[in-house]
Amino acid sequence: MRVLLVQALSMENPSAEKVYPLGVVLLATYLLRGGHEVQVLDMNMEADPFAVLKERLLTFRPRVVGFSLRNIDPLGNKTSSLIPPFTAAVRLTAALLTEACLIAGGTGFSLFPARLMRELPELHYGFVGEAERALPLLLDHLSNPPPLSGLCRRDGPEIKIDPPATDFNMACYLPPSRDILPPSLYAGANQYVPALGIESKRGCPFTCAYCVYPALQGRTLRCRPPAMVVEEMAALQTQYGVARFHFTDPVLNIPAGHLEAICHEILRRGLQVRWDGFFREDFLTEEQAAIYAEAGCECFSFSPDGLCQEALDVLDKKLSEADILRAARIAAGTGVLTVYHFMVNVPGETKKTCAKAERFLELLFEIHSAKRNLGTIVLNNIRILPGTVMAERAGRDGVIGPGTDLLYPTYYNPPPFDRFRYRLETLRQCREVFMWTEGEAAK
């Protein structure tokens, strides 16, 4: 069967950092193995994405078109939505190929599957969560599919959703066939984060109040064998010259020993690669950080989110301020670039917690001052997502009501501290500027 898989627009402007559509290419790999004829289109890489989509539809004329909606909006306190261009892509496809079967999936779709299926009658099916096993089975039974993990289907006016899969055995993971979408297309596309992603595990055991990872991937950690992960990295370097990678794991340095084993394998093979990912602060030791740095870690990304203990507790991070500062000192000691992500104006914010937040930021700059290896501190308000503890809290606090539409950008940022983020942004910006100019000013 002829299948076109489309990565829908997941950024609001062409200059944004690009993300290689790992999930789409992975699905394409499984379909190719099943004998299907598959093409992939990443609309984010096109100067005129809808014109390219139209051309590909009319020349390839697929029987099935699958759309991956990775993001519903750009996050980062922005108010623009990615639902309009997704809707336009689906409707354009339905108008041009009236006999084609249209299927949606991706993280963004998985947050609002019934809603998007109702609003887009052009969609025949959808998938919530993982679809490596289910999508090939759907294509084998397209007119009358059996129950399939995560499948969304129409039953008259109702949308029926089968329970999603969170048990795919990562030891059976089939590395994506990157020839389908050559990594060379993404070479030099980004200034900061590597465009090419690598999965070393799925699942997250934590219960952060705002997060959807456990619901989408399950709470059980499912790890790929370290040698398989490094073999994929080596193949990408040999075949495509890729030397920088981003690990897509929700948390990279758990369970204990897994990332260390990957690093030992990188070192054993003598791979000259650079990589980054998100690290959990209370699972980082000096010995581990040294191994990570030796094996090519180029950035420690931390997302402690709370700027004081009260905020950490509200967010259910199960972290202490001491955990964060200890990890900061370890990271600062390695000389590896470090980035922190925090949330501002969390529930229960007071003048006291605001003062503590400012002092905490000052401490981080002080810790990194010797080697000046603090990349940046990212400050955001909380994007409220359905099914999370934060959505319940926002309802109780009156920040959202029964009619609030969470499909579109909605943040927890009530007065009187709804402008506090700008104060912290000013502190951060000034400290970053002076961190890099102190030496020159002293001359």
Q: How many CB atoms lie within 10 A of CB 93?
A: 23
Average pLDDT, the chain: 95
Question: In this predicted model, what pLDDT tens digit does every residue of 53-87 receive, in sequence order?
Answer: 999 999 999 999 999 999 999 988 989 999 999 99
Every domain of the chain and the residues it spans: 2-161, 192-442
Within 8 A by CB and 6+ apart from 57, the residues are 4, 65, 92, 93, 96, 97
pLDDT of the residue at 317 = 97
- Which helix (H) or strand (E) segment holds residue 332: the answer is helix 321-334
Residue 282 token pair: 């209370």
pLDDT class of 439 with cuts at 50, 70, 90: low
Query: Between the CA of residue 419 and those of 333, 345, 390, 416, what are the distances in Å?
Result: 34, 9, 20, 8
Which sign does the torsion angle of CA 310, 314, 318, 319 carry?
negative
Identify residue 236 by its one-letter amino acid code: L
**pTM as predicted:** 0.94
Give which of 209, 132, 200, 211 is closest to 166, Cα–Cα. Answer: 132
pLDDT of 248-283, one tens digit each? Answer: 999 999 999 999 999 999 999 999 999 999 999 999
Give yes or no for residue 442 having a pLDDT over 90. no
Residue-wise pLDDT tens digits, 389-419:
999 999 999 999 999 999 999 999 999 999 9
What fold characterizes domain 192-442?
A: pyruvate-formate lyase- activating enzyme (3.80.30)
Angstrom CA distances, 333 to 149, 259, 289, 337, 379, stand at: 46, 20, 9, 10, 24
Tell whether the model's pLDDT for residue 246 goes beyond 60.
yes
Of the candidate CATH numbers 3.60.20.10, 3.40.50.280, 3.40.50.300, 3.40.960.10, the domain formed by 2-161 belongs to 3.40.50.280
Separation CA 213–CA 239 (nearest Å)? 32
- The reply to whether domains 2-161 and 192-442 share a CATH topology is no
334 to 272, 294, 301: CA distances (angstroms) = 18, 10, 14
First to last CA, the chain: 69
Give the Cα separation of 413 and 273 in Å (integer): 40
Length of the chain measured in residues: 443
Residue found under tokens 């926002």: 394
